[in-house]
Amino acid sequence: MTAYGLLLAAHIAAGTAGLLLGSIVMWADTHRWGRTSDSRAPGVLTHSLQQL
């Protein structure tokens, strides 16, 4: 695997981990407060992912 391929794979993995973390944060917010907090970035990312 080339260095570029390795960097790309690491970037994709980091993005996936970030979206997963955002989903967990939004889920926790929803279940703690009974609503989503749209002002937070993780919620926006998760919402964008759900639109795909």
pLDDT, residue 36, reads: 47
pLDDT, residue 9, reads: 92
Task: Give phi and psi for 40, each to the nearest 5.
Answer: -90, 140
pLDDT, residue 25, reads: 83
Between CA 45 and CA 42 the distance in angstroms is 5
CA distances to 24, 25, 40 from 10, in Å: 21, 22, 25
Domain of 36 in residue numbering reads as: 3-51
Number of domains composing the chain: 1
Give residue-wise pLDDT tens across range 1-52: 699 999 999 999 998 988 898 888 888 777 665 554 445 555 555 555 555 5
Judge whether 43 and 29 are in contact, CB under 8 Å. yes
